[in-house]
């Protein structure tokens, strides 16, 4: 499974763009679609804080081990290693954006879920930047995160968005926890969980509550020539972009609008809007920081390793209810919020309140 942030249907629309609108971007999209992406199956840090009495408190915690390589506009991986964990910032903005984004995602995983990196047991966080020429995507290849620079007409670069970086890292977390088949509903759940981590990483870095957050994935990667805010919206699937060339965001927000298709591995980037909306509803209902309760439920559901790799929406919904009951109780606010959210998007969670 090679999981990419930009869905193939969007690249296909761009590849067919009229030359008077996006000639260069259309060529870049065709080249991006033609690339064959091969799937290839601790440190500590000191943290200082001030306690309630004003005393300085020092504590050690696991830290990331980032390794950023430069493909130098080739399609060869891993590329030339250009920045390791203890190296200073470089003169390459893209390298440093990737480095900082991996660090911010690591901080979310550790602070919210006590997870040490991709595997949970530490290890390197490898990424490659400047992949290909005008490459219009970012992806996880089973071994590392890989980022193209974009074509400059439609896509302005993929390391500009923390949610994109965190999304790709999250695919590695999913793989480490046993995986979700990258097709159909299980593939949509795979994409949705990665979107959830992408949104939470941005919110964690910014200190935003669920109500304050934008819930956008890929905000800032479109140029000003595109009529759109981002690739996807967890708050309002189907509204992220509406462009005369790229078309309208096709994501549904309810099972009644579920898209049956053979494209996009059975609609993994399309139908992920349904579980995305469910998560947003849980987070908004519970309020506060979304990673604290809603995120905990979703993460614990994945990390329990009880999901079949071909889990459908109903199976995943039922598992999130079980997790909420286990963590907070059958009649808890959290369990009620999870049940209600899945019902709101038309998915039967197949669980009943526990007395």
The tens digit of pLDDT for each residue in 162-218 reads 999 999 999 999 999 999 999 999 999 999 999 999 999 999 999 999 999 999 999
Alpha carbons within 13 A on the beta-carbon side of 26 = 12
Give me the residue label for tokens 């593939």. 187
The residues near 273 (Cβ < 8 Å, ≥ 6 apart) are: 232, 237, 238, 251, 252, 253
Element (H, E) at 267: helix 264-267
| Per-residue three-class SS string for 103-171 | HHHHHHHHHHHCCECCCEECCCEEEEECCCCCCCCEEECCCCEEECCCCCCCECCCCCCHHHHHHHHHH
Q: Is 214 helix (H, G, I), strand (E, B) or coil?
A: coil
Please determine, for residue 45, whether its predicted confidence score (pLDDT) is greater than 60.
no
- Is residue 216 a contact partner of residue 229, using CB atoms and an 8 Å limit? yes
Residues marked active site are found at 168, 269
The tens digit of pLDDT for each residue in 54-112 reads 655 555 678 999 999 999 999 999 999 999 999 999 999 999 999 999 999 999 999 99
Return the bridge partners of 222, or none.
155
Buried b (16+ CB within 10 A) or exposed e, 30-49: ebbeeeebeeeeebeeeeee
Q: Find how far residue 132's CA is from the centre of its chain.
A: 22
Give the torsion sign (CA, 320, 317, 280, 270): positive
Per DSSP, 228 falls in state B
CA distance linking residue 132 with residue 253, whole number of Å? 34
Please state whether the peptide bond connecting residue 349 to the residue before it is cis, i.e. omega within 30 degrees of 0.
Answer: no
Question: What ranges do the domains of the chain cover?
Answer: 3-344
pTM score of the predicted model: 0.89
- Is residue 219 a contact partner of residue 206, using CB atoms and an 8 Å limit? no
The tens digit of pLDDT for each residue in 209-263 reads 999 999 999 999 999 999 999 999 999 999 999 999 999 999 999 999 999 999 9
CA distance linking residue 96 with residue 102, whole number of Å? 10
Pull the structure tokens for residue 184. 């159909």
**Superfamily per CATH, domain 3-344:** Neutral Protease Domain 2 (1.10.390.10)
């Amino acid at each position: 499974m090679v999981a990419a942030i930009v869905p193939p249907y969007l690249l296909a629309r761009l590849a067919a763009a009229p030359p008077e609108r996006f000639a260069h971007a259309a060529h870049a999209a065709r080249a991006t679609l033609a690339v064959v992406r091969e799937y290839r199956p601790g440190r500590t840090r000191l943290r200082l804080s001030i306690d309630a009495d004003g005393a300085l408190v020092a504590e050690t915690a696991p830290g990331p081990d980032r390794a950023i390589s430069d493909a130098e506009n080739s399609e060869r991986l891993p590329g030339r290693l250009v920045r390791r964990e203890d190296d200073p910032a470089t003169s390459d903005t893209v390298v440093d954006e990737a480095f900082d984004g991996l660090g911010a995602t690591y901080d979310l995983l550790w602070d919210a879920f006590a997870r040490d990196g991709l595997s949970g047991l530490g290890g390197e966080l490898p990424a490659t930047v400047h992949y290909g020429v005008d490459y219009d995507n970012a992806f996880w290849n089973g071994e590392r995160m890989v980022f193209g620079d974009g074509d400059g007409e439609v896509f302005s670069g993929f390391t500009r968005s923390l949610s994109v970086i965190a999304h790709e890292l999250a695919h590695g977390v999913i793989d480490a926890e046993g995986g979700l088949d990258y097709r159909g509903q299980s593939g949509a759940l795979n994409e949705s969980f990665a979107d959830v981590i992408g949104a939470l990483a941005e919110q964690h870095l910014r200190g935003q509550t669920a109500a304050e957050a934008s819930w956008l994935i890929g905000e800032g990667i479109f140029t000003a020539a595109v009529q759109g805010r981002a690739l996807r919206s967890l708050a309002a699937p189907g509204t992220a972009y509406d462009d005369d060339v790229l078309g309208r965001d096709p994501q549904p927000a309810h099972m009644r609008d579920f898209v049956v298709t053979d494209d996009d591995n059975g609609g993994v980037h399309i139908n992920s809007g349904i579980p995305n909306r469910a998560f947003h509803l849980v987070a908004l209902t519970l309020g506060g920081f979304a990673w604290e309760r809603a995120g905990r439920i979703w993460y614990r559901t994945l990390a329990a390793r009880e999901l079949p790799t071909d889990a459908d929406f109903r199976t995943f919904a039922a598992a999130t209810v079980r997790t909420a009951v286990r963590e907070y109780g059958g009649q808890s606010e959290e369990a009620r919020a999870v049940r209600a959210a899945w019902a709101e998007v038309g998915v039967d969670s197949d669980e009943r309140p526990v007395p």
